[in-house]
A = this chain, B = another copy of it.
Amino acid sequence: MIQKLIDAIVEKKAPVVVGLDPNLEFIPPQLLAQAREVTEETPYGDRESAIAAEAVWQFNKKIVDAVCDLVPAVKPQSAMYEQFGIPGLLAYRSTVQYCRDKGLIVIGDVKRGDIGSTSAAYARGHLAGKAFDVDFATINPYLGSDGVKPFIEVCREHDRGIFVLVKTSNPSSGEFQDVRTQDGRPIYELVGQKVSEWGESFMEGRYSNVGAVVGATYPEQGEQLRKLMPHTFILAPGYGAQGASAKDLKSFFDEDGLGAIVNSSRGIIAAYKKEAYSRFGAEHFDEAARAAALDMIEDLRSVL
């Protein structure tokens, strides 16, 4: 699966993934009004959640239509759908399917992780081509090898991949991840090394199907982890809204411009709310998203 992602990045000359994190505040009012009109009562939740889920689904389709020829991949964030219960998860499922139909690679940002047989159940739910049919899922490493390996087994069987959290993009990620061990290394480095080891048994060409999440907001750590994990593909969130720039990201890539893919969520999907793209207005939020995606791609190309 990692080779399929790399091929798509090369073809589109865009190491960019669009984060489909449709917080309700990003949804233009006209979509919410339309959703309110067409949404019927649901036995599986309150009507407001069903309306929100319908609006999210219509929003996502427009965004995906606007960027699917530009970028290789999308990353729906499961929390934004789970918050609306069953209707929200139906929107998640439909979104994943819609993106696949458009030829996009789908990274399910689910950050799951548990012990043995429970991780295996999560893996079957997300990476086995059935319930929620994503190509990659993000995984939390806190429980160690026997929380991660069941995901790898299911991925092997179904040609899927994972990105394991190593150094996350948020301000407090250092609280535990940066703590130095007795030999002076930070915890994220230990995790990175383990990710690299887990990945060795699941290579596909130059890179492994076991990737790593490294926040674009931490360029020094990105550079260090790039060297420490030579065959590990990096998923780097934090560009744009969270503050990272293309310059910060150069060190996440290998010399040939591969080895990483950069995520932007609200910077693209809610671009119409930013001054730089406000000319599009809420009516043309999808065109604003396309313009922002083009700018992001150009920005990254300028340093690669």
Interface residues of A (CB under 8 A from B): 21, 23, 44-46, 49, 77, 79-80, 82-86, 88-90, 93, 111-119, 121-122, 124-126, 130-132, 140-147, 165, 168-177, 179-182, 184, 187, 190-191, 194
Contacts and interface: CB of A to CB of B under 8 A. Distances in A.
A121 B83 contact: yes
B45 A130 contact: yes
A177 B93 contact: no
B88 A125 contact: yes
B80 A118 contact: yes
A180 B179 contact: no
A106 to B, nearest CB: 15
B21 A130 contact: no
Contacts of A46: 130
A175 B112 contact: no
A148 to B, nearest CB: 9
Contacts of A125: 79, 82-85, 88
A18 to B, nearest CB: 16
Given A85-B125, A122-B82, A172 B184 contact: no
Given A111-B112, A111-B113, A177-B142, A118 B77 contact: yes
Q: Which 8 A-B pairs have the closest CB atoms?
A: A85-B131, A144-B172, A144-B175, A115-B170, A82-B125, A79-B121, A83-B125, A83-B121
